[in-house]
Structure 1
Amino acid sequence: MIGRISGRVHDVLAEHAGDVDGAQAELIKGAIADVMALLKASRVGGRYEHSEFPPTADVLRKRSQKGADDIWEGRTKWRNSHVFQAAKKGETFEVTALDMNAAYLSAFKCWLPIGQLREDTSGVHDRKKSGIHLLTPAEWEHTDLPNPLGNRMEPGELWVSESTLRLLLDCAREGLTDTPVIHRSLVSGGTEVLLEKLRRALAEVRKTALAEGDELTVNYVKSMYSKLVSTLGESTAIVICDARTGCTSCARKHSRICG
């Protein structure tokens, strides 16, 4: 797939006679179609295939066209006040730079549910399953570390995604906080490898392009992975069907492609 991505960039650039701006506009315009074709190619021989089908749970429904659903997004906007004040006074620190632009690629490693979400009120997290969870988080008392829930100020229950719950549980195992109380879960069998081949290919192409200063390829790859993640929402939700059991988990009014 790496050659396929690089070849696409080369072909479009040639079609535009070396005009980088024109080539970039065409590549970005076709990014969604291109990345979906790459996803299909990465799934050859895979046990699961993707389907499109609208979410059924109310908490997954957007309240308006530009609104949000009920799932809390732990977007962190955090500053270590002690370090910040010391830096303002001229003190120097050794820091680790984070490649924030690759956050969408990192999201490809998330656990995705396979099939229809089913309610679980046991309060126990099953690491072989994935979904969304209604929980009450423990207090976060560390001023020198960002809260996994981001800048949430209001207390009480909230719905979180699988990735956020696993991060909270990891923090509890490290002794940073108490274990969150899970009240209700909507889960199905989970997988972490559905997008792995695609992620590796995009990451490798991006790494090479950054090293070579190839901004055209960098922007093309960025457009593909960011748009793919951004469009896995209410209108184009991805549901994974188990080829062994058929499509009973998604037998509703929707178009589906099942393995």
Structure 2
Amino acid sequence: MTERHELPDPARRDELAENLAKVEERIAAACAAAGRKREEVTLVVVTKTYPASDVRLLYELGVRNVAENRDQDAAPKAAACADLDLQWHFVGQLQTNKVRSVLGYSDVVQSVDRMKLVTALSSAAVRAGREVGCLIQVALDAETGARGERGGVAPGGTEELATAIEGSAGLRFDGLMTVAPLVGPYAGRQRAAFDRLMEISADLRVGHPAANMVSAGMSTDLEEAVAAGATHVRVGTAVLGVRPRLG
């Protein structure tokens, strides 16, 4: 039996169109419930292990923001789609030895979580002659010491990183990102987690008023993120289906 991600292009396009429409309905309904305008929330489709052909189909369907979390998947895919007017987001934990490659295609790095990475990103951006947007990934579980495995900096470390990003050539501080914690006091309490992220964002914007991007919420909890005030939601499975296994 043909797997879903291997369907011929016309069938795959129909599948993606149907899934995308359902996600758009969810975002629109969440915005309406929160008293927000639909245009206040940007959908970023996380394509991960899916092929460049899916990115092209998504582009045909109106998607302009796509995200990846592994450079080995992203670099060849971005190269294959270089002719498309897309904004690429890198959302995975980023090692410094991958920074130069990632900055070859990424417009926004959403997972900045340490000074060493800020330095490496700045050097690579200057070398490439471009400006790259940066989001600080906040580990909300680290606030109480119950650190999970999703990366990020504790809320208390955001101001120092924000100041470093703003003072680094080639970088632009755009805001914050989080993934709902699996452990600690926010486990299973996505809305509370996203409300806390919005509080941290508001505090940071006192000194960094342009950093108003808040990336939160995925396929299972985008409504909670929109209700809290997120400006960007990162959706993979709900648009593309269950990811094929690697290897």
TM-score by length of 1: 0.27
Larger Rg: 1
Q: Looking at secondary structure, tell me which structure has more helix per residue.
A: 2
Higher relative CO (Cα under 8 Å, sequence separation at least 6) belongs to 1
TM-score by length of 2: 0.28
